[in-house]
Amino acid sequence: MVLASARANIALVKYWGKRDLALNLPAAGSLSLTLDALRTETKVELIEGSEDRFFLDGQQQNGKAQKRVSDFVSLLRKRAGRKEAVRVDSSNNFPTAAGLASSASAFAALSVAASQAFELQLSPEELSIYARIGSGSAARSIFGGYALMSAGEKADGSDAFAKALPEIDLPLSAAICLAGEGQKHVGSTEGMERTRTTSPYYQAWIEQVHKDLAFAQEALRQKDISALAEIVEGNCLAMHANAMSARPGIIYFKAVTLWAIEQVRQMRSEGIPVFFTIDAGPHVVAFCAPEVLEKVSSRLSEHPEVSRVVTSQMGGPAQVEA
């Protein structure tokens, strides 16, 4: 039995669009921060029989979820030349599929646990490639702190993996403002494909991502939070504008999302170092200097439609626990 853990990450420069659907190859790079508070623990056990079994938060999963996990485990099983079936037990300490990057920590933890269960010795780059096949953003959750994902150019995806950016020394905390706990209505793969195939602004978005990646890394190196705020908020709004301009348009925001955006900008105008980003859901993630986290979190709690605010420090890499 192997137990592994991984943490979700939130992108500062977003991944939204694939160059290959089957291998989950991104059309452009992305840049993220791994968060300590959003954690998946995954246990992989070799079992008798020929069917893989998958339990999420203690509930046995069938159908699509079971197949996705089993197909993924089969890649590692094949690579190791093994035959055994597995039982996978995974648990999240945050709402699954609510637009909070649960697939990122899930596939990062599963890559680490399953490769170890089959006695494979994989490098972090190889783990990142496998995690990416499970879910694009999972490639980044193999690493702690800041991670940079490369789109790569090769058709087989062997150059599409993330790496850590240990030289960046800017501690940031996050206040995740949960706008309800339900499941999101358009999943990220469907949303990306609809955007790629129907948005008139898709190419402009991809070109902007290339620029934002360079600008964001420079701002991080300079520890320039105001420059970073402009780049990260601009990139997030461009991603959502792109999704909204698909046909039919995809709107992840709720009224409370706009309220939270306004609060963050208001705080920044008061001199509080804070900025926002939003994934494929209604929740606003406010990144801030660690010393203002409490203040940011309590401001974002002041709306009746905010179900809770989860606070987090930066998190470490995916790892074997036992």
| Residue ranges that bind ligand PMV, judged by CB under 6 A | 11, 14-16, 30, 101, 103-104, 135-137, 188-189, 279-280
Q: Considering the complex, what minimum distance in angstroms separates the CB of residue 277 from ligand PMV? A: 9
DSSP assignment letter at 283: P
Which residue, 128 or 188, has its beta carbon nearer to ligand PMV? 188
Q: Considering the complex, what minimum distance in angstroms separates the CB of residue 271 from ligand PMV? A: 29
Which residue, 104 or 261, has its beta carbon nearer to ligand PMV? 104
Residue 20, classified by CB atoms within 10 Å of its CB into exposed (0-12), middle (13-18) or buried (19+), is: middle
Which residue, 118 or 145, has its beta carbon nearer to ligand PMV? 145
Q: Considering the complex, what minimum distance in angstroms separates the CB of residue 112 from ligand PMV? A: 17
Which residue, 108 or 117, has its beta carbon nearer to ligand PMV? 108
Cα angle vertex 269, ends 254, 235, to 5°? 50
Distance set, CA 209 to CA 16, 54, 168, 193 (Å): 9, 36, 20, 17
Distance set, CA 79 to CA 47, 126, 187, 217 (Å): 18, 12, 29, 35
Asked if residues 30 and 14 have their Cβ atoms less than 8 Å apart, the reply is yes
Q: Considering the complex, what minimum distance in angstroms separates the CB of residue 139 from ligand PMV? A: 8
Q: Considering the complex, what minimum distance in angstroms separates the CB of residue 189 from ligand PMV? A: 6
Which residue, 136 or 317, has its beta carbon nearer to ligand PMV? 136
Distance CA 61, CA 54 (A): 6
